């Protein structure tokens, strides 16, 4: 093995000599402890290496071993239900080897090479295949059939041999002869470099909404499958609760959840909760569709940088099988900070706030790996990766570089607001500053799947919320009495929208997940109150206190407690509302006439 | 292998450059032997070919480029730990300062520790009753949590911390606990306050104190919390104790870090603090928690004073991103003579949803209702300032009264008042009774029936 000699150690940065033919992003093993590192700068025969483990005890004179390969992930059955660190080492195996603390120099495989999987071929001998074609499948978990595909480097060929039965990951399950007559062995596992997007046939505009069960997200600011969104917010505003609730309830088939530089206990919570929780769409334990990547804040910084790439490469791999994948990265600010730390140690010229000048391009590259695509392969199947990144702006100040660079490339902005969080209005997403550019894309889906007037009602509800904020200004200055009756009604209905629709308790069983249809019904009901009352308020004798005291109003408040299995009850409720308000109108008008 | 060099090249603040060295490893411990026989400890911060940059943990005063010997010890900084440390007081660099004997260590541990594998962690879920209503009801503490106190200069954070240390317990499991106290750059009086408080209640026998006062060397402060936490890990995960760690004041710690960073001429992040401040703080805070299969736990209550009471200052800001919530003290309440001056709205405990499930069935609802009603009361108060109370509606007036009541009865309590969670929740119901029933939207009907005092 070729090797170099260390000349300098400064935290996670190691500089070594004698690295003449090394490549950028080549993986190296540092010192005799074989710590994993990656080359991030080359200068003549001197290489700068970021090391993915603690570098204490390493010094000049120690060797650096070259591997000639770039950073790759191992892709094959066994990924689901796993929890990895930033460089795809299973945390469970680390525990078995080293106990409860992560010590260094632990070398464990990303997948279990001893386990046998039942491979069922769908192609047969003699079939003509191209890159990306599905050869067969392995039932990875009860939810997901892991498709074994022709790897991208085999452009086209003919199946020479294909087997059926029980195989370990590295057993040959098929042989393909390409057009030049060369045979390729196909196993259950393939490798892919983490910094390179996996190939697709074509990218399409995302048009199907990803249903998350969170009302403010689905109805007000929907994200499309294959889209990119970001959640910036100060601490305590609920980024992680929102991300976790997305991971629990969104209707993607595979979830990749990256805890990047966040709290250890949060990952533990996910680990303990997900095997217990049932996926609302399939009824199976959530863990069966989930891959966790945990590089907590106290784990080595350089591996934090790699963790988002490891995650998205795995996400792309499942997308290539034709699945809808959702990736949550919590938080991309920590990833950016890892970039900044390495950049500082490399003594590069800093850009804004000490971040490297290439922060923007790196951020864009990452989010561009999201997409709604036509996968490689002759069946032109569809797959998608939806990326949702949390951003932790210092002091909640959105003008900082990470947020700004992220906003340039994401199409959905869910802005968390500390003021709402202080009032314990959750999810604390500000409905005035947030936006979604997918609104027009998903309108056709809404019309077809939910209701003709969903888009219209949503627009009107948003309008009321907008008006509320300007009316509140007036109330603050001159008091409630200065408002016209219509404006007072707007305030009342907007309050109901906030408290009975937008407010959602992620810790309540029934409330945590609201299907799209139910969201529509709740919204419709609140807006019905508005439509029905509007003609009455200008009439002589109308009293807001009497109106608010109508018994049916109590039912509006409790409406979200109606179980999702009994949606027909909303119809009765709506009739009830119309009847009550009309009766009230008739009553006071009669009294006035008398 | 030990290596000694007399080739000190330059000294700038806490940093010393040693030249012509060989075989030096990163993070290695260095002992500087002064001509007068004094010994000072430091560690290798960077090593480049044959030069080593050493960061001192102890006062660099008196070290000279001539005559001082740098001895590289080939191992990282360690602390000798033993259960005999309980009841003892140490300096910020781990030497006994209570006049007692040296500790005979059972084990020597690297003070940097190692990250706990998230897979090996056990999720904290034992309700830790502090006896303070605003914490127990609204910002419930859980054993194994890290919950900092965000304070300001002149606020009674020490009293609050001492009260928590004195009162907090898991009901029914009061034995096998320890308190570890780490002081960084605090005044002599503040350090004495804690020592006396611990002595007075007898808690001193169950505690280990590491004290670096404002007069002690600045760089020592970088080691102090690590010594405290290494001791805590030893007691918790090897001796099965439930350890509460109080660290004060993290602001001084961060300033020491900034000093070292500035001396190294690193590219600064916000307000001159190093770009790796987040990671560095995480290596402290993340050393709280529980481990699967181990009996003990570490609960951390770091205290930090926010410069200018600014919560967006890098220190509280980065802390809040790592810790599981925060208790914010308010200068306004303190001025009004309210103790403990907990500013309820920005305070938060992230682990409280789990804890609320195990205290009492109505806790979840009471929590939501008290928050929402108090927030509404404060809004009305703002409104009243502009429009005058006469412009308020009846319901607004009731909320105004509720907010006042909340501050006077719910927040306010004596330093020695140890309320049980039942007391606290009943008090909350008593106060909610002043509001119209149809305003109680966040509590369940059955709980209203059961707990709301009948008028």
Taking one residue from A and the other from B, the number of pairs with CB-CB distance under 8 angstroms is 207
Q: What local confidence, expressed as pLDDT, does residue B271 receive?
A: 86
Give the ranges where B264-351 is alpha helix by DSSP (H). 277-285, 314-322, 331-335
The beta-carbon neighbor of A341 closest among B28, B276, B314 is: B276
> From the candidates B18, B74, B115, which should be mutated to test the interface with A, based on the most A CB atoms within 10 A?
B115
Number of helices (H) and strands (E) in chain A: give both, helices first. 17, 26
The beta-carbon neighbor of B46 closest among A9, A480, A507 is: A9
With beta carbons less than 8 A apart as the criterion, state whether A275 and A285 touch. yes
| Six token digits for residue B230 | 């290494």
* Contact yes or no for B119 and A95 at CB 8 A: yes
Measure the CA angle with vertex A18, ends A15 and A20; round to 5°. 105
Question: 């070919």: which residue's tokens?
Answer: B49
Q: Could you tell me whether strands B290-291 and A128-130 are parallel, antiparallel, or unpaired per DSSP bridges?
A: unpaired
Q: Could you tell me whether strands B149-151 and B297-305 are parallel, antiparallel, or unpaired per DSSP bridges?
A: parallel
A379: left (phi over 0), alpha (psi -120 to 50) or beta: alpha
Query: Does pTM top 0.90 for this prediction?
Result: yes
The beta-carbon neighbor of B441 closest among A476, A479, A557 is: A557
Q: What local confidence, expressed as pLDDT, does residue A1 receive?
A: 63
Q: Could you tell me whether strands A412-413 and A228-232 are parallel, antiparallel, or unpaired per DSSP bridges?
A: parallel
Q: What local confidence, expressed as pLDDT, does residue B1 receive?
A: 56
Q: Strand, coil or helix: what is A30?
A: strand
Distances from the Cα of A93 to the Cαs of A29, A97, A299, in angstroms?
20, 6, 16
* Contact yes or no for B387 and A479 at CB 8 A: yes
pLDDT band at A476 (very low <50, low <70, confident <90, very high): confident
Task: Give A277-322 pLDDT, tens digit per residue.
Answer: 888 778 889 999 999 999 999 898 888 999 999 999 999 999 999 9
Task: Give A81-129 pLDDT, tens digit per residue.
Answer: 999 999 999 999 999 999 999 988 888 999 999 999 999 999 999 999 9
Average pLDDT of the residues of chain B: 91
Q: What local confidence, expressed as pLDDT, does residue A491 receive?
A: 94
- For B:370-429, CB contacts with A below 8 A are 371-372, 375, 383, 386-387, 391, 393
pLDDT band at B294 (very low <50, low <70, confident <90, very high): very high
* Contact yes or no for B48 and A7 at CB 8 A: yes
A544-553, B220-229, B407-416: which has the minimum mean pLDDT?
Answer: A544-553
Q: Strand, coil or helix: what is B287?
A: coil
Buried b (16+ CB within 10 A) or exposed e, B70-104: bebbeebbbbebbeebbbbbbbbbbeeeeeeeebe
Q: What residues contact A43, with CB distance under 8 A and at least 6 apart? A: none
What is the chain B residue with the closest CA to A104? Answer: B114
* Contact yes or no for A261 and B276 at CB 8 A: no
What is the chain A residue with the closest CA to B322? Answer: A263
* Contact yes or no for A60 and B121 at CB 8 A: no
What is the chain B residue with the closest CA to A351? Answer: B267
The DSSP element (H or E) to which A551 belongs, if any, is helix A551-557
Give the ranges where A410-481 is alpha helix by DSSP (H). 418-422, 439-449, 454-478
What is the chain B residue with the closest CA to A481? Answer: B391
Task: Give A130-176 pLDDT, tens digit per residue.
Answer: 999 999 999 999 999 999 999 999 999 999 999 999 999 999 999 99
- For A:382-401, CB contacts with B below 8 A are 392, 394-397
Q: What local confidence, expressed as pLDDT, does residue A490 receive?
A: 95
- For B:259-278, CB contacts with A below 8 A are 266-270, 275-276, 278
Residues in A touching B324 (Cβ below 8 Å):
263, 265
Cβ neighbours, 10 Å, residue B332: 10
In the predicted model, is pLDDT for residue B2 greater than 80? no
Is the Cβ of A479 closer than 8 Å to some Cβ of chain B? Answer: yes
* Contact yes or no for B322 and A395 at CB 8 A: no
* Contact yes or no for A268 and B441 at CB 8 A: no
The DSSP element (H or E) to which B227 belongs, if any, is helix B220-233
DSSP per-residue letters across B145-211 = -B--EEE-TTS-HHHHHHHHHHH-B-TT--SSEEEEEEEEEE-HHHHHHHHHHHHHTTGGGGEEEEE
Residues in B touching A428 (Cβ below 8 Å):
none
The beta-carbon neighbor of A271 closest among B119, B325, B350 is: B119
Give the distance from CA B56 to its chain's centroid: 24
CA A216, CA A502: separation in Å to the nearest integer? Answer: 5
What is the chain B residue with the closest CA to A91? Answer: B119
- Average pLDDT estimate for A18-36: 91
Is the Cβ of A422 closer than 8 Å to some Cβ of chain B? Answer: yes
CA B404, CA B437: separation in Å to the nearest integer? Answer: 19
- Average pLDDT estimate for B133-157: 94
In the predicted model, is pLDDT for residue B295 greater than 80? yes
The beta-carbon neighbor of B314 closest among A263, A294, A394 is: A394
Is the Cβ of A471 closer than 8 Å to some Cβ of chain B? Answer: no
In the predicted model, is pLDDT for residue A594 greater than 80? no
CA A514, CA B119: separation in Å to the nearest integer? Answer: 31
What is the chain B residue with the closest CA to A340? Answer: B275
Q: Strand, coil or helix: what is A452?
A: coil
CA B183, CA A290: separation in Å to the nearest integer? Answer: 43
In the predicted model, is pLDDT for residue A447 greater than 80? yes
Is the Cβ of A204 closer than 8 Å to some Cβ of chain B? Answer: no
- For A:326-385, CB contacts with B below 8 A are 334, 337, 340-341, 344, 350, 353-354
- Average pLDDT estimate for B105-124: 92
* Contact yes or no for B320 and A8 at CB 8 A: no
Q: What local confidence, expressed as pLDDT, does residue A421 receive?
A: 87
In the predicted model, is pLDDT for residue A208 greater than 70? yes
Is the Cβ of A9 closer than 8 Å to some Cβ of chain B? Answer: yes
* Contact yes or no for B346 and A236 at CB 8 A: yes
Is the Cβ of A546 closer than 8 Å to some Cβ of chain B? Answer: no
Q: Give the gap in angstroms from C-alpha A182 to the nearest C-alpha of chain B.
A: 44
* Percent of residues, chain A, with pLDDT higher than 70: 100
Residues in B touching A61 (Cβ below 8 Å):
22-23
In the predicted model, is pLDDT for residue B192 greater than 90? yes
The DSSP element (H or E) to which B68 belongs, if any, is none
The beta-carbon neighbor of B47 closest among A9, A354, A477 is: A9
In the predicted model, is pLDDT for residue B243 greater than 90? yes
By CB atoms closer than 10 A (0-12, 13-18, 19+), residue B163 is buried
A196-210, A368-382, A539-553: which has the minimum mean pLDDT?
Answer: A539-553
Average pLDDT of the residues of chain A: 92
| Six token digits for residue A269 | 């919570």
pLDDT band at B455 (very low <50, low <70, confident <90, very high): low
- For A:253-282, CB contacts with B below 8 A are 259, 261, 263-265, 267-269, 271-272
CA A450, CA A166: separation in Å to the nearest integer? Answer: 44
The beta-carbon neighbor of B116 closest among A100, A272, A344 is: A100
Q: What local confidence, expressed as pLDDT, does residue A561 receive?
A: 85
Residues in B touching A397 (Cβ below 8 Å):
312
Task: Give B333-373 pLDDT, tens digit per residue.
Answer: 999 999 999 999 999 998 888 889 889 999 999 998 999 89
Is the Cβ of B287 closer than 8 Å to some Cβ of chain A? Answer: yes
* Contact yes or no for A397 and B312 at CB 8 A: yes
B266 secondary structure, DSSP code: P
* Contact yes or no for A264 and B286 at CB 8 A: yes
With beta carbons less than 8 A apart as the criterion, state whether B82 and B105 touch. yes
What is the chain A residue with the closest CA to B51? Answer: A8
Distance between terminal CA atoms of chain A? 102
- How many Cα atoms within 13 Å fall on the side-chain side of residue B380? 22
Torsion of the alpha carbons at B51, B54, B60 and B65, rounded to the nearest 10:
-10
Q: What residues contact B202, with CB distance under 8 A and at least 6 apart? A: none
Distances from the Cα of B312 to the Cαs of A35, A113, A449, B131, B323, in angstroms?
38, 49, 45, 29, 15
What is the chain A residue with the closest CA to B271? Answer: A353
Q: Give the gap in angstroms from C-alpha A82 to the nearest C-alpha of chain B.
A: 10
* Contact yes or no for A480 and B393 at CB 8 A: yes
Q: What local confidence, expressed as pLDDT, does residue A271 receive?
A: 85
CA B335, CA A96: separation in Å to the nearest integer? Answer: 55
Question: 């990144």: which residue's tokens?
Answer: A389
Question: 């170099």: which residue's tokens?
Answer: A4
Residue that wins the pLDDT comparison between A351 and A28: A28
With beta carbons less than 8 A apart as the criterion, state whether B145 and B354 touch. no
């Amino acid at each position: 093995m070729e090797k170099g000699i260390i000349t300098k150690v400064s935290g996670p940065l190691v500089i070594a000599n004698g690295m003449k033919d090394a490549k950028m992003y080549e993986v190296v093993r540092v010192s005799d402890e074989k710590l994993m590192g990656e080359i991030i700068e080359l200068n003549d025969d001197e290489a700068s290496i970021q090391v993915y483990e603690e570098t204490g005890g390493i010094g000049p004179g120690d060797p650096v071993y070259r591997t000639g390969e770039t950073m790759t992930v191992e892709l094959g059955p066994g990924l689901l239900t796993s929890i990895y660190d930033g460089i795809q080492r299973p945390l469970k195996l680390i525990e078995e080897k080293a106990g409860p603390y992560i010590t260094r120099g632990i070398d464990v495989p990303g997948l279990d090479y001893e386990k046998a999987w039942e491979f069922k071929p769908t192609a047969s001998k003699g079939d003509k295949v191209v890159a990306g074609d599905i050869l067969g499948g392995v039932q990875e978990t009860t939810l997901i059939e892991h498709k074994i595909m022709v790897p991208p480097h085999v452009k086209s060929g003919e199946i020479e041999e294909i087997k059926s039965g029980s195989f370990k990951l590295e057993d040959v399950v098929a042989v393909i002869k390409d057009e030049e007559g060369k045979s390729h062995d196909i196993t259950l596992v393939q490798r892919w470099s983490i910094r390179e997007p996996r190939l697709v046939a074509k990218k399409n505009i995302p048009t199907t909404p990803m249903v998350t069960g969170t009302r403010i997200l689905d109805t007000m600011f929907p994200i499309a499958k294959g889209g990119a969104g970001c959640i910036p917010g100060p601490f305590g505003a609920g980024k992680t609760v929102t991300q976790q609730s997305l991971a629990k309830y969104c209707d993607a088939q595979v979830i990749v959840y990256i805890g990047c530089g966040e709290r250890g206990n949060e990952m533990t919570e996910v680990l303990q909760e997900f095997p217990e929780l049932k996926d609302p769409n399939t009824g199976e334990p959530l863990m069966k569709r989930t891959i966790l990547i945990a590089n907590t804040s106290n784990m080595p910084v350089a591996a934090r940088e790699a963790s988002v790439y490891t995650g998205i490469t795995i996400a792309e791999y499942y997308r290539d099988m034709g699945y809808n994948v959702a990736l949550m990265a919590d938080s991309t600010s920590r990833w950016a900070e890892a970039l900044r730390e390495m950049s500082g140690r490399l003594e590069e010229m800093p850009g804004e706030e000490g971040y490297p000048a290439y922060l923007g391009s790196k951020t864009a590259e990452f989010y561009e790996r999201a997409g709604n695509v036509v996968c490689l392969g002759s069946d032109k199947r569809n797959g998608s990766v939806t990326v949702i990144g949390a951003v932790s702006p210092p002091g909640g100040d959105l003008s900082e570089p990470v947020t700004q660079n992220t906003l340039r490339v994401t199409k959905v902005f869910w802005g968390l607001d500390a003021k709402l969080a202080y009032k314990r209005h959750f999810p604390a997403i500000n409905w005035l500053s947030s936006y979604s550019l997918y609104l027009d894309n998903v309108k056709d889906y809404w019309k077809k799947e939910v209701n003709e007037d969903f888009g219209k009602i949503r627009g009107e509800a948003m309008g009321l919320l907008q008006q509320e904020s300007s009316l509140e200004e007036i109330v603050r200055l001159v008091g409630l009495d200065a408002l016209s009756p219509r404006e007072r009604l707007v305030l009342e209905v907007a309050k109901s929208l906030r408290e009975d629709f937008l407010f959602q308790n992620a810790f309540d069983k029934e409330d945590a997940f609201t299907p799209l249809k139910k969201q529509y019904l709740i919204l419709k009901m609140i807006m019905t109150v508005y439509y029905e009352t509007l003609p009455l308020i200008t009439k002589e004798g109308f009293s807001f206190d009497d109106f608010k005291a109508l018994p049916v109003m109590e039912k509006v408040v409790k409406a979200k407690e109606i179980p999702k299995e009994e949606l027909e009850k909303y119809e009765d409720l709506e009739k009830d509302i119309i009847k009550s308000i009309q009766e009230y109108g008739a009553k006071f008008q009669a009294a006035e006439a008398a | 292998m030990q290596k000694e060099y007399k080739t000190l090249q330059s000294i700038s603040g806490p940093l010393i450059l040693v030249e012509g060295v060989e075989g030096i490893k990163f993070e290695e411990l260095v002992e500087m032997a002064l001509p007068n026989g004094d010994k000072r400890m430091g560690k290798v911060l960077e090593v480049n070919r044959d030069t080593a940059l050493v960061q001192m943990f102890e006062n660099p005063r008196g070290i000279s480029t001539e005559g001082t010997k740098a001895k590289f010890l080939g191992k990282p900084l360690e602390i000798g730990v033993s259960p005999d440390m309980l009841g003892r007081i140490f300096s910020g660099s781990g030497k006994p300062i209570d006049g007692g004997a040296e500790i005979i260590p059972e084990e020597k541990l690297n003070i940097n520790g190692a990250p706990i594998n998230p897979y090996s962690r056990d999720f904290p879920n034992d309700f830790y009753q502090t006896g303070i209503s605003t914490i127990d009801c609204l910002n419930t503490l859980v054993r194994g949590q890290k919950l900092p106190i965000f304070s300001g200069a002149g606020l009674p954070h020490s009293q609050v911390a001492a009260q928590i240390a004195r009162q907090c317990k898991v009901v029914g499991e009061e034995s096998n606990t320890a308190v570890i106290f780490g002081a960084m750059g605090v005044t002599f009086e503040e350090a004495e306050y804690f020592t006396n408080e611990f002595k007075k209640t007898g808690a001193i026998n169950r505690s280990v104190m590491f004290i670096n006062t404002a007069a002690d060397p600045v760089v020592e402060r970088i080691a102090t919390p690590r010594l405290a936490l290494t001791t805590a890990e030893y007691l918790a995960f090897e001796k099965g104790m439930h350890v509460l760690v109080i660290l004060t004041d993290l602001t001084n710690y961060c300033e020491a870090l900034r000093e070292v960073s500035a001396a190294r001429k690193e590219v600064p992040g916000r307000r001159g603090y190093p770009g790796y401040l987040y990671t560095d703080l995480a290596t402290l805070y993340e050393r709280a928690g529980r481990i699967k299969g181990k009996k003990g736990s570490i609960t951390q209550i770091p205290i930090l004073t926010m410069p200018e009471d600014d919560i967006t200052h890098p220190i509280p800001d980065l802390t809040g991103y790592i810790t599981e919530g925060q208790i914010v003290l308010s200068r306004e309440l303190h001025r009004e003579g309210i103790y403990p001056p907990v500013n309820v709205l920005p305070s938060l405990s992230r682990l409280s949803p789990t804890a609320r499930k195990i205290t009492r069935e109505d806790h979840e609802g009471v929590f939501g209702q008290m928050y929402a009603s108090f927030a509404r009361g404060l809004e009305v108060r703002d409104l009243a300032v502009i429009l005058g109370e006469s412009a308020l509606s009846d319901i607004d007036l009731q909320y105004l009264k509720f907010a006042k009541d909340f501050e006077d009865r719910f927040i306010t309590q004596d330093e020695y008042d140890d309320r049980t969670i039942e007391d606290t929740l009943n008090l909350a119901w008593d106060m909610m009774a002043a509001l119209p029933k149809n305003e109680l939207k966040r509590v369940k009907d059955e709980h209203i029936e059961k707990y709301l005092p009948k008028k």
